[in-house]
């Protein structure tokens, strides 16, 4: 277990660094969007248009690869299957994914005009027409990003994380530069950004291919008959079907939120997405990184039925996420206005846009730790080939999200929708822990007790660290009001960040925090 923990931390640091760069660029991408589009109707059009193929990507590609393909391929490797047999499985999966996503894109092209109208109520026909055009531009993104997800799955199964960690960087660079370069050459900036999305998706796929070839594996097409009848792909399909249902419930959260937002008032869709981008910056760096790294190892431990090591790895991952996300939540609640202003404020993104986004962000960030925990706990089920229980948890949380979002959106609009999402994430976390008892491979009671106690501890320490910020932060902000944007918002954030997290680290040392000491030990830093 010692070696696996070391690998977890080392791989996590490397991947987290790449993810950090990617997420920063993702925020810059949103800043670019804010600069050109603000919270206008055109911003809402792009938001809806990008949501549709991106939702399908998450549904049919990335998550399906994670929960179905990686454990299956890992099983082939652990069983020392014949290389030809394993290669046939890879080719069959490649063919299956390409065929299915192409079919979805063709169908999507036909029904796009009808689909986009579900997201708007009293919006002008011009915006609806533009949303249709933008959606069609970005539909091919689904195909190339699905292939990229497969390539990532192959590399991650072999514990190679760096290439796939770098590809989102390429994507964000393409979107950013594509928007600036093409804005004057096409009808509007939204179309320029859409073209950048497609080009970025292509680069994500092509960049990983040489690294796969270096592992002595390859990808090529086979017949559809072979693709659908291969033993491995049959297993993948059997795992994917409940996964798709589960992810469908999860992704429906986005659909419901966006549809209700589009019908609330102009700007709500884009404010929700700006807020979620900030939240995803944190999720991507930590939760997704750790979830990506531990899944292959959890699958390997499950194959060997080494449940003691399995539980230790899961427990450690849960505590690491708690240690990271809870303090960040407290700090973000205290400094949200300045964070949003620093990142997004521009000519098109005015004080009204800041206020609208802040009202949403407060409720989004409140659910950060639960959304992150879901990204960590779900792989514990997937590694054992169980996709039904996370699916059921997702369905239950979806029900709560739809109910609360529908009720609250009418009066509270964006903040009500954001609260519904955070609350449903809490419900999802609770049910994942409850359903874990049914696995009969983990001491669930011990895991729950240790996780909850650690959560309470970190909440308490974060609250203490917040006290000096509450009293000092207004004065710090006041001191820099007359300076430029970066200094006005950036310096108060820097000072308060150093103060808050320094106090937090001191408190962790005083409490002799097990996770902090473990990380320092693995990094060979003397206590």
Number of compact structural domains in the chain: 1
Residue 266 is predicted with a pLDDT of 67
pLDDT score for 75: 82
* Residue at 370 is within a domain: yes
Report yes or no on 309 lying in a domain.
Answer: yes
Q: Report CA dihedral (67, 252, 174, 489) to the nearest 10 degrees.
A: -110
The residue range of the domain holding 269 is: 2-522
pLDDT, position 121:
62
Q: Residue 454: its pLDDT value, please? A: 93
Q: In the prediction, which pLDDT does 431 show?
A: 93
Cβ neighbours around 105 below 10 Å, total: 18
Residue ranges in the chain whose pLDDT is less than 50: 1-2, 5, 525-527
pLDDT of residue 527: 42
pLDDT value for 330: 95
Asked, for residue 139, whether it belongs to a domain, the answer is yes
Asked if the structure places residue 189 within a domain, the reply is: yes
393: exposed, middle or buried (Cβ count in 10 Å: 0-12, 13-18, 19+) = buried
For the full predicted model, state whether its pTM sits above 0.85.
no
Q: Distance between CA atoms of 355 and 197, rounded to whole angstroms?
A: 28
435 is a domain residue: yes
**What are 45's two structure tokens?**
């059009």
Residue 527 lies in a domain: no
In a domain, 244, yes or no: yes
* pLDDT value, residue 218: 87
| Residue (of 429, 475, 484, 459) closest to 333 by Cα position | 459
**CA distances (Å), origin 361, targets 331, 375, 418, 485, 496:** 13, 20, 8, 20, 19
* DSSP state for residue 79 in the 8-state scheme: T
């Amino acid at each position: 277990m010692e070696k696996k923990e070391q690998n977890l931390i080392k791989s996590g640091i490397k991947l987290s660094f790449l993810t950090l760069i990617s997420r920063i660029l993702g925020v810059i991408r949103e800043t670019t969007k804010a600069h050109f589009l603000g919270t206008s109707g055109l911003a809402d059009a792009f938001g809806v248009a990008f949501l549709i193929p991106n939702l399908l990507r998450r549904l049919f590609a990335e998550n399906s690869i994670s929960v179905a393909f990686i454990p299956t391929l890992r099983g082939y490797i652990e069983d020392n299957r014949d290389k030809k047999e394993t290669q046939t499985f890879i080719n069959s999966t490649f063919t299956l994914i390409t065929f299915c996503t192409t079919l979805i894109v063709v169908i999507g092209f036909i029904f796009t005009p009808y689909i986009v109208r579900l997201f708007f109520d009293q919006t002008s026909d011009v915006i609806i027409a533009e949303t249709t055009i933008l959606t069609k531009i970005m539909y091919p993104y689904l195909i190339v990003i699905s292939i990229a997800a497969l390539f990532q799955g192959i590399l991650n199964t072999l514990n190679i994380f760096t290439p796939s960690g770098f590809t989102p960087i390429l994507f964000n660079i393409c979107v950013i530069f594509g928007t600036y370069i093409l804005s004057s050459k096409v009808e509007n900036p939204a179309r320029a950004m859409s073209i950048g999305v497609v080009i970025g998706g292509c680069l994500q796929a092509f960049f990983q291919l040489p690294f796969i070839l270096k592992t002595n594996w390859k990808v090529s097409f086979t017949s559809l008959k072979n693709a659908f009848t291969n033993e491995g792909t049959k297993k993948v399909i059997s795992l994917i079907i409940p996964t798709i249902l589960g992810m469908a419930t999860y992704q429906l959260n986005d659909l419901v939120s966006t549809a209700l937002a589009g019908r609330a008032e102009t700007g709500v869709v884009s404010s929700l997405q700006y807020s979620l981008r900030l939240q995803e910056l944190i999720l991507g760096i930590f939760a997704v990184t750790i979830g990506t790294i531990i899944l292959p190892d959890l699958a390997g431990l499950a194959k060997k039925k080494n449940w003691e090591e399995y539980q230790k790895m899961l427990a450690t991952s849960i505590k690491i996420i708690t240690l990271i996300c809870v303090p960040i939540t407290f700090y973000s609640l205290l400094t949200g206005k300045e964070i949003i202003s620093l990142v997004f404020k521009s000519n098109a993104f005015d004080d009204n846009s800041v206020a609208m986004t802040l009202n949403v962000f407060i409720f989004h960030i409140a659910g950060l730790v639960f959304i992150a925990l879901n990204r960590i706990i779900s792989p514990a089920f997937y590694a054992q080939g169980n996709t039904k229980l996370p699916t059921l948890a997702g369905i239950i949380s979806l029900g709560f999200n739809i109910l609360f979002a529908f009720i609250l959106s009418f009066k509270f609009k964006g903040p009500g929708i954001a609260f519904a999402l955070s609350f449903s994430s809490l419900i999802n976390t609770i049910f994942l822990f409850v359903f874990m008892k049914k696995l009969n491979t983990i001491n669930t009671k011990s895991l729950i007790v240790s996780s909850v106690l650690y959560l309470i501890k970190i909440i308490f320490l974060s609250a203490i660290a917040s006290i000096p910020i509450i009293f000092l932060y207004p004065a710090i902000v006041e001191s820099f009001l007359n300076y430029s944007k970066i200094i006005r918002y950036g310096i108060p954030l820097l000072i308060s960040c150093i103060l808050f997290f320094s106090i937090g680290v001191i408190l962790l040392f005083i409490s002799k925090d097990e996770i902090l000491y473990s990380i320092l030990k693995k990094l060979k830093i003397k206590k």
